[in-house]
Amino acid sequence: MLVGDVAGLLMPVTGEGIGNGMLSSILATESINQALQLDTLAMPRYSSKLTPLIEKIRATFPWFKRIEEAAKNNPRNLPPTVRDAYLDTLQNF
């Protein structure tokens, strides 16, 4: 059962990972507790709880393409693009 950075939960644009590390740790412990109480497996429960968070992180990936394209086309475009990527990521978390 992986949590935090090693589970790939670092936010790519902002480089923040403490919040997602704590959240995934809570989800993991809740899943283990429930599995012990119900005598079932913890991992399927944890995976399903983690999926929405992973989807949110995945949704930030297109920003990398946009940053790369902005840098190639005109490096002067880069600061506003990076700013927009940062603000968009913050809005989603």
Ligand X SMILES: Cc1cc2nc3c(=O)[nH]c(=O)nc-3n(C[C@H](O)[C@H](O)[C@H](O)COP(=O)(O)OP(=O)(O)OC[C@H]3O[C@@H](n4cnc5c(N)ncnc54)[C@H](O)[C@@H]3O)c2cc1C
Q: Which residues bind ligand X (CB under 6 A)?
A: 4-6, 10, 15-19, 21
CB of 53 to ligand X, least distance (A): 13
Looking at the Cβ atoms of 24 and 70, the one nearer to ligand X is 24
Looking at the Cβ atoms of 20 and 70, the one nearer to ligand X is 20
What are the backbone dihedrals phi and psi of residue 74, each rounded to the nearest 5 degrees, phi first? -160, 105
* Per-residue burial over 6-23, b = 16 or more CB atoms within 10 Å of its CB, e = otherwise: ebebbbebeeebeebbeb
CB of 30 to ligand X, least distance (A): 17
CB of 60 to ligand X, least distance (A): 15
Per-residue tokens: 34: 């429930």
Asked if 71 contacts 78 with a C-beta cutoff of 8 angstroms, the reply is yes
